[in-house]
Amino acid sequence: DTGVSQDPRHKITKRGQNVTFRCDPISEHNRLYWYRQTLGQGPEFLTYFQNEAQLEKSRLLSDRFSAERPKGSFSTLEIQRTEQGDSAMYLCASSWAREETGGSLNYGYTFGSGTRLTVV
Amino acid sequence: EDKVVQSPLSLVVHEGDTVTLNCSYEVTNFRSLLWYKQEKKAPTFLFMLTSSGIEKKSGRLSSILDKKELFSILNITATQTGDSAIYLCAVEDDAGGTSYGKLTFGQGTILTVHP
C-alpha cells in the first residue's frame, strides 16, 4: 500500500480515557499534517511536522493533545482525558517537496482515510 | 487569522441541473486554492488553482480563481446523483521554501442531487 495509513479506523472510548492514533505517511514524504473534522464542518488544522520537527501547532491543540513524529516517519496523536467534544474524524495527510510539470504546480498532498473517534 | 467561507452551505438540485459553488478567502500568505469532494471519508482532490483567470476543467467540473477579489467558484454541469457530496474549498498557506503549507478549509457545501 503506497497511500497514507491511519489506525485505528474507528475508536469508541469513555470520557476521561486516553486514546492514541497512528499515521503512517507515504515513505518519501517529509511533511505530515493532522486535521480534525467535526460533523458539518470542514477539516481544521491541528499541527504539522517537517521530518521529526513539529513546526506549528494550532490553538485548537489544547494541553490534552500531543503529537509526535519521533523518527520522521510515522506519527502519533494522543488525546488525554477525552471529552465528548473530542468526538470527530482525525485526518492525517503527508506531502513532499513542491513539484511542477510543464509550468503547472503538481498537487502534492495525500490524505489518509481518517480515524473516527466517538467519546461516550 | 486565515478564513475561508463557502456558500451556499447546502444545495438541492435535480439531475441535469448546473450548480455553482462559491468560496471566498482571507489569508495572510496565499499560495494556492484547492477544491475537494468528500463522501464520508477523506477528501478527494479535484483542483488546485494558483493563477487568476485560468479555468481548470475535468469532465463536467470546472473551477476558476480570482486573486484580486479573493474568491473562487466550482461549476458542475449536467449534475448526476453521484455528484452528491460535500464540496470543500481550502487555501494553502505559503510556508516558504519548497514544501507544501498547511490548509485552511471552509465549512463545505453539501450538494444533494435528486434523480
> Tens of pLDDT along B3-47?
999 999 999 999 999 999 999 999 888 999 999 999 988 899 999
Contact call for residues B77 and B21 (beta carbons, < 8 A):
no
Tell me the pLDDT band of A28, cut-offs 50, 70 and 90. confident
Q: How far is CA A27 from CA A23, A62, A106, B52, B94, in A?
A: 11, 29, 18, 34, 24
Cα dist. A57→A23, A66, B38, B113 in Å? Answer: 17, 10, 25, 38
Residue B5 grid cell: 467561507
Q: Is A107 within 8 Å of chain B by CB? A: yes
Q: Is A59 on the interface with B (CB under 8 A)?
A: no
Position A33 confidence tier, pLDDT thresholds 50, 70, 90? very high
Q: pLDDT tens digits, residue range A46-83?
A: 999 999 999 999 988 889 999 999 988 999 999 999 99
Residue A102, pLDDT > 90, answer: no
Choose the weakest-confidence range: A88-92, A95-99, A112-116, B59-63: A95-99
CB contact under 8 A, B48 and A107: yes
* pLDDT tens string B81-97: 999 999 999 999 887 67
List CB contacts (< 8 A) between A91 and chain B.
42-43
- Tell me the average pLDDT across B101-109: 94
Q: Nearest Cα to A46, choosing from A3, A96, A86?
A: A86
Name the percent of chain A lying above pLDDT 90.
Answer: 71
Write out the three cell numbers for B9: 452551505
Interface test with A, best of B99, B109, B110 (most A CBs within 10 A): B99
In the predicted model, what is the mean pLDDT of residues A79-107? 86
Q: What is the per-residue pLDDT for B55?
A: 93
